[in-house]
Structures are given as C-alpha cells and as structure tokens.
Chains A and B, each alone.
Chain A
Amino acid sequence: MEPVIQVKNLSKKFSNVLAVKNISFSVHSGEVFGIIGPNGAGKTTTIEIIEGLQVQTRGSVQVLGLDPKKNVSKIREQIGVMFQHTELQRKIKVWEAVDLFSNFYSHNISVEDALHRLNLEPYRNHYFSQLSGGWKQKVLLTLATLHAPKILFLDEPSAGLDPNSRRDLWHLILLLRDQGTTIILTTHYMEEAERLCDRIALINHGKLVGLDTPESLIAHLTKEKSLIIQGESIDLTELKALPSVMKAVPSKEMIRLTVTDFQKASFEVFSLATRLNWKIDDFRYDRGTLDDLFAQLSTEKEGML
C-alpha cells in the first residue's frame, strides 16, 4: 500500500516546551490508523500539523504528496476532519448544514446523496439541537465526508455516545474504510482502537513509543502474561510451586497467575488439577488489552519506554 501521509523527524516546540520530539511514521492508503496516548502526549499537535492547522518547528510532513505548509488549500479539498465536542448552530436544519458545507468545495456535491449515505433523510428538517448525541455525530461525519475526502481525521468520534450509537458509528467508519478512505483516528476508548484500527501509533511525552497492529503492540508492550483460573479446592501454594508460574494472586473468587509461557503453564495447571482432583470452573488467558497498555503509558515517566 502506498503511503498517503509521511511524517519524518517531526518536532514542535511551544516556547520552552518540546511537545513533539522527532516523530516519524507513515500512513498507508485505505488503512485505519490510530494515534493514542495520554492527554498532553503530543498527539493533537502532531495531527494538527498534518492537517495544516499548525506549523512544525522541524521535520517534514507530506499529505497526499503535498506539504501542508505550502499547499493547505489543496489539502483541505481532499481531507475531512471531525473534531471532538463540535456543535453546529442550534437552529440550523440538517439539510441546511449539509447544503452549506457542500458549497465550500469546488466540485458539485449532491445534498440528497449525502443525506442518503448516512441515512439522514428522516432527520433532514430537524434542527441540529433537536438531535440525539449519536445523530449529531452522524451529521458531523456527513459534513466531514460529503466531499469524498481521501483522508478522514476523526478526533474522539464516539466520545459521550451510548453503546448502541457507538457501534453504529463504528459500522459507518468501517464502511468508509471499505470504500477506500484512509482514516486517522484518535481515541481514549481502547476498545474502539482495538476494533477499528489496522495499526496504532502510541505517543507519550511527545515521542513515538510504539507503532504496530493492536495485537502486536499488546504482545510487545504489556510485560505480563496472565492466566485466570477459578474452581473448587484449588491450592494456591501448589500453583505457586509450578515451574512456569511466577506469581499467583487470589482476586475475589479467581486466581490470577503470572506466567512465563502460556502453553507450558496451561499444561502444568491442568496436569496438577487432574492429579489433585480440582474442579476447574473457569480458565482464561489474559494477554492484556490496550487499556492495560494505555494505563501503563499514562503512569510511566519520560524515557522509561
């Protein structure tokens, strides 16, 4: 896949603070690329430089082969952005908003097609303020995509939505991805990142600390592998004595085992259970999640990773 965004040795300094430190990555055409990190990590600054809203102190950025510093107008014809916490005018009707935004672009855009694409027809005459959070996000997504952008930036798209609206929105995002739109997603919902992203860039303290698929990131960066076991008459001392078990900690009715190797530890646990007649009710691998990784990132000090 060809890169649609190339970021090389990007740095941004605000007075005495280096917010972004020598970051490099590329985003391929048609992928959902996540950028995650704690608040203040530098991800918004990085994205705003790519969008042409800020200018870098050092390094280079190419978006669809164009430099955002020099070609911001051309880039804005080809990208869409859905910001977090955006409101339209309270008394603008849905169709009026779509019609207004469609006139900002040089090529002709059909308002009816745009309304149809995200099933907004039943709400076309509703005021924006009358819509639920989920429908507001759909309207904003429509406005960000009505010019068929090649790259779509989504900033916390499902913040504040209920689970059903969130899943609806995810479905639409994946639909756009399937239609060939490259999507850059920032989110604090790690489930969202795991579900949607093909690759994720982890940013912390202004540095890129990881860049891979969600599965590989979890595997490489979560330091512990755990097994969860639950059952009757399980003896904690026996479990602790197993060669592959580093730690065994009871938690409510379960026991969490920190192990060196999933396969060996599983074999040892089941052999022991069979030999000692334990009745196992639940047994799970816990490889960690992006949530664990995010929590780990948030508490780590600069330079630890």
Chain B
Amino acid sequence: MKALMKMTAVEMKLFFRDPQSLFWTFLFPFITIYLLGFLFGGSQVGNVAYKQLLIPNMMALTLTSTSLFILGMRIVNYKESGLLRTYQITPLGAGRMIGAFCIMGLVVFLFSMLIAYLSGWLLYGIRTPVHIIGFWGATLLCTLGMFPLGILLTGFSSTMEGAAGIGTLALNVQLLLSGGVIPYQLLPLPLPLKILAKCLPLHYVNDLLTAEWTGQSVNFLSLDVGILAGMAVLFSVLSIRFFRWS
C-alpha cells in the first residue's frame, strides 16, 4: 500500500510540474465548455436542452483522452526511457504501478471536471446532476473501465510515436461514433456504424453519465452498468496480465 500511495503522490507532483498538463487540466475544459455552449447552447436533444448534456459529454471525452494520452502515453514514455525496467526489477509489480496511475488519472480527471462544471454553471447556468449518488457511482465505474483500457491499448506500443497513433485512432473513432463532444443521438450514422458504435466502450460511458446527469429514464441502464462493470474487470485483468515493461 505504501508503494501505491507514494507512487500516486509522486506522479501527481510530476503531472502538475508540467505546464502542458496544467493547460489541459485547467484551461482546456473551460475553453471547450465556453465554445460548445456558445455554438450549440440553444439546441435541444430530444426533450433535453443541449447545454445539460455538455458536462456528461465532456466527461466522456475527458475520460477517454485521460486514459489514452495522460496515463497510457506516460507509461509508454517510461517504457521508452528504460524507467519501467528499473521498476520491474523492484518488488513494485504491475498491479500497483497501474493502480497508482489510475488514482492519479482519477484525481486529474476530477480536477478537469470541476473546472468544466464551474465554467458551465457560471457561463450557462448548467445545473448539478439530477441523481447525485448515481452520478458519482457512474463516474467511478466509467473510470474503472476506461483507464485500464487506455493503458492496455497504448501499451501495445513501445514507442511514443506508436502510442500516439494508437491513442489518436482510439479517441477519434470513439468520438465520431459514440459521441463525446456532440451527443451520439445527434450523429447521423448509417445502421452498420450505429451497430459498431454500440460495440465501443465510450457509447456506454456516454449513455450512463448522461442518464445520471439529466435524470432521463434509460431503458437499458442495467445493461450499461453491466457492460461497464464487465469492462472494468476485464480490462483491469488484461492490462496487468499483458503489461509490458520493456
């Protein structure tokens, strides 16, 4: 436990020492919320105002990008520099290493979301989630599913270039098909792509977060929860099992 906590603390410090990280954590959510609200703030999605979907959609986008670009690429960077091999030869172990990164990612993600929410509240009067407890549970579940997946996917590469390619592909495919910035309900997708979209993790993340935030009734909420819980277990096991130190 002490190794996990110490590594989490060190990674947090290192994250906030990087000016680029500060931009993506603090400024990017504000800019994005401002722009999306400015452009589409008056739209309706079904019987829900688009601005009420801004935060859950932004969360889905941030979860995916955090998992791929903050966690996954950071680990690949350490792999490339030989640091992971130095960790490997200690009693640390892949589970604690991934655990520390996921906790760090969760803290960074919550910071971002706090900024996003405060921006949305101040600029557009966005309300708090309708189901507060359900929303926090959904956030945790989505985090547990998405973070190990990002680490697993980018971990197939041993270079930053390769990881960036994997990350960009995984992010854009999911954003285009499953929403994230534009709600997937608004995307004019042909049937085969709609089916494909339902196979992507982000679809369920979006679905669940939106439902808990807006209080919309969702017919398949238990399916979303089941799939995300399954993802959390499966991707956690796979990311540890196939973790490559070098």
CB of A53 closer than 8 Å to a CB of B = yes
A81 to B90, CA, bound (A): 9
Instruction: Name which of B5-13, B42-50, B196-204 contacts chain A.
Output: B5-13
With A86-B82, A89-B14, A89-B83 already in contact, the answer to whether A51 and B89 are too (CB < 8 A) is: yes
Is A79 touching B14 in the complex (CB atoms < 8 A)? no
- The minimal Cβ–Cβ distance linking A89 to chain B, given in whole angstroms, is 5
Task: Count B-side interface residues using an 8 Å CB cutoff.
Answer: 21
- The minimal Cβ–Cβ distance linking B14 to chain A, given in whole angstroms, is 5
Instruction: Name which of A8-16, A98-106, A188-196, A209-217 contacts chain B.
Output: A98-106
CB of A123 closer than 8 Å to a CB of B = no
Is B86 touching A53 in the complex (CB atoms < 8 A)? no
Chain A interface size range: 20 to 34
CB of B91 closer than 8 Å to a CB of A = yes
* Residue in contact with A143 in the complex, picked from B6, B13, B85, B86, CB distance below 8 Å: B86
Is B83 touching A87 in the complex (CB atoms < 8 A)? yes
A-B contact count (CB 8 A): 58
Residues of B close to A283: CB separation below 8 A: none
Residues 1-36 of B, flagged 1 when their CB comes within 8 A of A and 0 if not, give 011001100100110011000000000000000000
A105 to B89, CA, bound (A): 11
CB of A77 closer than 8 Å to a CB of B = yes
With A100-B7, A100-B10 already in contact, the answer to whether A81 and B18 are too (CB < 8 A) is: no
Is A106 touching B7 in the complex (CB atoms < 8 A)? no
A102's nearest neighbour on chain B, judged by CB, is: B6
- The minimal Cβ–Cβ distance linking A5 to chain B, given in whole angstroms, is 15
Is B92 touching A85 in the complex (CB atoms < 8 A)? no
Q: Ordered nearest first, which 3 A-B pairs have the shortest CB separation?
A: A86-B82, A87-B81, A103-B6
A–B Cβ pairs within 8 angstroms, 5 of them: A53-B88, A76-B90, A79-B89, A89-B78, A104-B91
* Interface residues in chain A, defined as those with a beta carbon under 8 Å from any beta carbon in chain B: 51, 53, 73, 76-77, 79-81, 83-89, 91-92, 96, 99-101, 103-106, 140, 143
